[in-house]
Amino acid sequence: MSTLARRTLLGTAIFAVPLTAIAFVANAMASPADMRVVVNFMISLVLVLAIQSFSGNTGIISFGHLAFMGVGAYVAAIVTIDPVLKQDDLAGLPSFMAEHSVGFIPAVLLGGLVGGLVAGVLGVVLTRMREGAMAMATIGVLVIFFVVFDNWEGITRGNTGIAGIPQSTTVFAALVFALLAIAACRAFCESRFGLQLRGSRSDPVAAEALGSNVVRLRWVAWTLSGAIMGVGGALWAQYNIAVGPQQFFFEQTFPLLAMLVVGGLATVSGGVVGVFVITIVFEVVRRMEDDIGIPGLTQIVVAVLILVVLNRRPNGIMGGLEVDQVLARLRGRRRVEQEGGSQ
Amino acid sequence: MMVFAAAGQEAVQQAINALALGSTYALLALGLAMVFSVLGLVNFAHGELVAVSGYAMYLLHDAGLPFAVQVPAAIATGAIAALVMQRVVFRPLRGASFITLLISSFALSVLVQNGLRAIISPRQQGVPLPDFFNESVHLGPYVIGWLEIVTLASCVIALIVLTLFLRRSTQGLGMLAAAEDFQATRLMGISPNRVIAAAFAISGALAGLAAIFLVARRGTVDPGMGFMPLLSAFIAVVIGGLGSLSGAVVGGFVLAAIEVTLDATLPGSVQPFREAFALGIVVVILYFRPEGLLTRVSEAK
Amino acid sequence: MTTATLALRDVVKRFQGVVALDGVSLEVAEGEIVGLIGPNGSGKTTLLNIASGVNRPTEGRLVVGGVDATGRRPNQVAKLGVGRTFQQIRLFDDMTVHDNVLVGAVARGEDRDHVAPLLARLNLAAVADRVAVTLSYGDQRRVEIARALAGSPRFLLLDEPAAGMNESESDALLATIQAIREEQGCAVLIVDHDLRLMMRLCDRIHVLAEGRTICEGTPDKVRADPLVIEAYLGSAGAPAEPEPAGGQAS
């Protein structure tokens, strides 16, 4: 088996065990409120890993990815709601879209497809820029899409948003897509694209001198991550049954980036660990916030957590390593200790 | 002939609006660029300097103090808040990567915003300003608001003072040298800590000044008030070329010109999409000049 | 003239008005080892930057294997078979030695199993799993060479590979470069201040001073040339002094 396939399978399998266990336990005994937390956790994995597949490999942070999540979510909303509802609410739709609806899987795939297409077009311009300028230009992307979602009445229902989306994302569907996202992002990271990008992340001049077309590689990563983001948005819409422009703007960008950075931007495992840690912190503090009555406490706690983690561990909890590398090191250290003890 | 005169009059008025708006953007963009040039930090919390300065005006107004006191207080608050941010958050991160700094400032921005929300109130608070700002002057055929005049004049004065400081004083020359090549400051015997602190203090003071005009336009303050102006300043900085001080100022005026022009020319039905069109134009500019307007295309060493 | 050469023709390079290269022509033929020497600031690194597409010549042409590559991006020049190392080491610091070399291979569409023999060839097999930045200076230089070779270049440009090496390390480097030429058949253009190394290694030596060619020929011819002795060897008598850091843009 090739290195790529072996690492992808191992890296996915290590997370598959606990995630599957969580899904089964939640399915058996979780209250509706806890179930929401679990399903949104799985969907967040898809979203955070989508951002990781671009930012982690290129070293360029993106504030604009929620635009592609929004695209996926609106696409899924428009193609799944009952045609009767569309006639009243979404008058701007072309007739073939107004008269038909599709099921869960086609909606998810369409979300990913359109997310990828939109990202691909924007990426032509964005990936030509220097690293810092591109990061800031992604902010512009987020604002452009917010304005469009907020005002395109006939298609998005503007500020009101679209409600009445069938709730089709089950905990197991979310689990499957989370695992697919882990596998896809790990495979990309280990592929010739990911390898070259990680080289360019550390030294773009050296990477170009070796023959890497850094602009094109970044475009590939950007488009792929836009597609995965679209998938995540489609899953999200079909679980939370209503979409509106505010859900794809800055306030929602912050927790996703927090997850990525706290866990460790550079690796897929960092993304997974970050989603887990921040989800728990969010839930614990949110429950306290209701008791204590300080508005915004959750955001304050997460912000402080980010500042502390970045100060102590600039590469996040995982410190730039994949979980299988950590395990291999631990095994190596134990072997050394045992050998040392037997002498 | 009448139509022509009216169109010309309209154009002049639009131009003045663009200049007033652009000068506010320029103040914020210049502050961002100063900090970026010495520290490599794009400071997301710059918008919160505006908010904190705005709240200083609100608190003083609440305590019954006049506008003449609120103005210097806003500027001083911006400068002090920037120095505190620098010392507490960014100094320990010296030498960290671009992303680490960026995300830290993003977290700091969320922290301050929610801090204001928790300590004062999540709701808008009114800060009424002297009636003077609502009046206009008639200059020949043109009607110009005092607010626009004062904004523009203050910003121009601030830019001139800052330019003189940077070009004429030892400290200022050191900062300019640092903006060009930060390593050079050590060779010149200038303390990097002082240069960084000065850059933050100036950027905070400029944010405080901008806050006065933003509050004057809105008549209110709220915790998130710095955010949209900051976005515009970001875009201005990117248009001008990340790291270029004069580029930031030029970018501010270019962005304002685009926005005011679209405001005047777009048909009503697409008017809500104005921001998207403006950013679309910016993207087109960046497609042809990926390094920004004022950055020379640099060659790798 | 065969097509299997890397040629710079009448190259002029000005940086904001300052002339770094003033009409230099240089050719490296298949399988040849050509040395490039000259005092500090004579334009050696600029010449390598132009030969690898990192800098664009103000005037003149770059021709690689019969293809006019003037003005092409570094990655396009690399695709024509030009590999290089840097005076100030530019490894991918956070990646392992193995992965550094692997990137060099996949960037040019080479196979992954290309890496292990190269690591062995450059005596790096033992440190393959170490993170690049933790290696000694001499090891890091060899990783850069391995990484450049992983793309199977026809022309290898080395910018001061012996800098910071002691005598025995530089002897080993000499043997390695000769072996690379034998085994891979790739030509080498090398810049270094270690004249002991250069005189033994190079088939031909090209001497630059103030952006112009002052002498070109076999090591013996160069050693005897009065212009070279005056411009380079004569002044200090000990020309192996290292260039100060940061001087490479000159």
In a domain, A198, yes or no: yes
Residue C247 confidence (pLDDT): 38
Smallest CA–CA distance from A203 into chain C, residue: C92
C90 to chain A: nearest residue by CA?
A206
C148/A210 Cβ within 8 A = yes
DSSP secondary structure of C110-167: --GGGHHHHHHHTT-GGGTTSBGGGS-HHHHHHHHHHHHHTT--SEEEEESTTTT--H
User: Are residues B34 and B180 in contact, defined by beta-carbon separation less than 8 angstroms?
Assistant: no
> Which token pair is C42?
């004579």
Beta bridge partners of C157: C84, C189
Size of interface A-C (CB pairs under 8 A): 76
Beta bridge partners of B220: B126
Query: For chain B, how big is the Rg over CA atoms in Å?
Result: 20
Beta bridge partners of C68: C63
* Distance of alpha carbon A60 from the chain centroid: 15
CA separation for the pair B70, B81 (Å, rounded): 16
Structure tokens at B209: 């000044």
CB–CB of A56/A98 below 8 Å?
A: no
Which helix (H) or strand (E) segment is A221 a member of? helix A214-240
Nearest to A195 among C83, C99, C151 (CB): C99
Q: Is A218 helix (H, G, I), strand (E, B) or coil?
A: helix
The range of the structural domain enclosing residue A197 comes to 3-245
Of A3, A205, A210, the CB nearest to C147: A210
Q: Provide the 3-class DSSP secondary structure of residue C172.
A: helix
Instruction: Tell me the pLDDT tens digit for each residue of A194-241.
Output: 999 999 999 999 999 999 999 999 999 999 999 999 999 999 999 999
Residue A72 to residue A82: CA distance in whole angstroms: 18
A343 has pLDDT over 60? no
Task: Flag the least confident range among A85-94, A136-145, C133-142.
Answer: A85-94
Burial of residue C101 (CB within 10 Å: 0-12, 13-18, 19+) is buried
CA distance A324 to chain C (A): 15
Closest CA to C140 of C162, C155, C117: C162
Cα separation, B223 vs B52, whole angstroms: 8
Distance from CA of A320 to the nearest CA of C (A): 9
Give the pLDDT mean for A100-120.
Answer: 95
Contacts of B299 in chain C (CB under 8 A): 15, 54-56
* Nearest to A200, CA basis, from B292, C56, C75: C75
- Round to whole Å and give the CA distance between C55 and B18: 41
pLDDT digits (tens, 9 = 90+) for B178-233: 777 776 666 667 777 888 899 999 999 999 999 999 998 888 999 999 998 998 89
Structural domain spans, chain B? 2-288
CA dihedral A212, A215, A221, A223 (to 10 degrees): -140
Alpha-carbon gap: A139 to the closest alpha carbon of chain C (Å): 28
Confidence of residue C3 (pLDDT cuts 50, 70, 90): low
CA A333 to chain centroid, in Å, comes to 33
Across C176-201, average pLDDT: 91
Check: CB of residue B292 under 8 Å from CB of residue B285.
no
**pLDDT interval class at A100 (50, 70, 90):** confident
Dist. CA B104–CA B102, nearest whole Å: 5
Q: Which of B104, B222, B259 to mutate to test the interface with A (most CBs of A within 10 A)?
A: B104
pLDDT tens digits, residue range C149-171?
Answer: 999 999 999 999 998 888 888 89
Chain B positions in Cβ-Cβ contact with residue C55 (cut-off 8 Å): 299-300
Of A66, A20, A6, the closest CA to residue A243 belongs to: A66
Q: Look up residue A12 and give its two tokens.
A: 């996915």
pLDDT bracket for residue A1 (50, 70, 90): low
Q: List C-alpha distances in Å: C177 to A214, C116, C223.
A: 29, 18, 22
Pairing of strands C33-37, C187-191: parallel
Q: Is A333 exposed, middle or buried (0-12, 13-18, 19+ CB in 10 A)?
A: exposed
Name the least confident of B264-268, C120-124, C199-203.
Answer: B264-268
Query: How many CA atoms lie within 13 Å of C159's alpha carbon, on the beta-carbon side?
Result: 24
Q: Which pLDDT score is estimated for B221?
A: 94
Question: How far apart are the C-alpha atoms of A269 and A263, rounded to whole Å?
Answer: 8
Instruction: Specify the CATH number of the domain B2-288.
Output: 1.10.3470
pLDDT value at B29 more than 90: yes
Residues B143/B13, Cβ–Cβ less than 8 Å: yes
Residue-wise pLDDT for C36-56, tens only, equals 998 888 899 999 999 999 999
Confidence band, pLDDT 50/70/90 cuts, at residue B281 = confident
Which has more pLDDT, B301 or A82? A82
pLDDT above 90 as % of chain B: 34
Is the C-alpha dihedral spanning C177, C178, C182, C186 positive or negative? positive
pLDDT value at position B252? 92
Q: Which residues of C touch B (CB under 8 A)?
A: 15, 49, 54-56, 248-249
Count structural domains, chain A. Answer: 1
Q: Does B119 touch chain C (CB under 8 A)?
A: no
The CA distance from C149 to C104, in Å, is 8
Using one digit for the tens of pLDDT, what is the confidence trace for A57-70?
999 999 999 999 99
Residue C98 amino acid letter: H
User: For residue A256, is pLDDT > 80?
Assistant: yes
Say whether residue B299 is in contact with chain C using an 8 A CB cutoff: yes
Confirm whether A309 is domain-assigned.
Answer: no
A206 contact C CB<8A: yes
Q: Which of A201, A261, A262, A289 to mutate to test the interface with B (most CBs of B within 10 A)?
A: A261
Subunits with 3+ Cβ pairs within 8 Å of A are B, C
> Per the domain annotation, does A324 fall within a domain?
no
Structure tokens at A278: 């921040």
Element of type H or E holding A205: helix A204-209
Alpha helices in A59-128 (DSSP H): 65-80, 83-89, 95-99, 104-126
In angstroms, the separation between the Cα of residue B21 and the nearest Cα of chain A is 19
Q: What are the backbone dihedrals phi and psi of residue A193, each rounded to the nearest 5 degrees, phi first?
A: -65, -50
pLDDT at C233: 56
Q: How confident is the model at residue B296 (pLDDT cuts 50, 70, 90)?
A: low
Token pair of A64 as six digits: 């604009």
Q: Give the lowest-confidence range in A79-88, A193-202, B83-92, B173-182.
A: B173-182
Show the 3-state SS of chain B.
Answer: CHHHHHHHHHHHHHHHHHHHHHHHHHHHHHHHHHHHHHHCCCCCCHHHHHHHHHHHHHHHHHCCCCHHHHHHHHHHHHHHHHHHHHHHHHHHHCCCCHHHHHHHHHHHHHHHHHHHHHHCCCCCEECCCCHHHHCEEEECCEEEEHHHHHHHHHHHHHHHHHHHHHHHCHHHHHHHHHHHCHHHHHHCCCCHHHHHHHHHHHHHHHHHHHHHHHHHHHCEECCCCCHHHHHHHHHHHHHHCCCCHHHHHHHHHHHHHHHHHHHHHCCHHHHHHHHHHHHHHHHHHHHHCCCCCCCCCCCCC
Give the residue from A310, A311, A312, A315 with the most B CB atoms within 10 Å of its CB, the best one to mutate: A310
Residue A259's DSSP bridge partners are none
Q: Are B209 and B1 within 8 A, CB to CB? A: no
Cα–Cα distances in angstroms (integers) from residue B177 to residues C100, C117, C247, in the given order: 36, 49, 20
Among A227-236, B17-26, B136-145, top mean pLDDT goes to A227-236
A49: in domain: yes
C115: amino acid identity, one letter: V
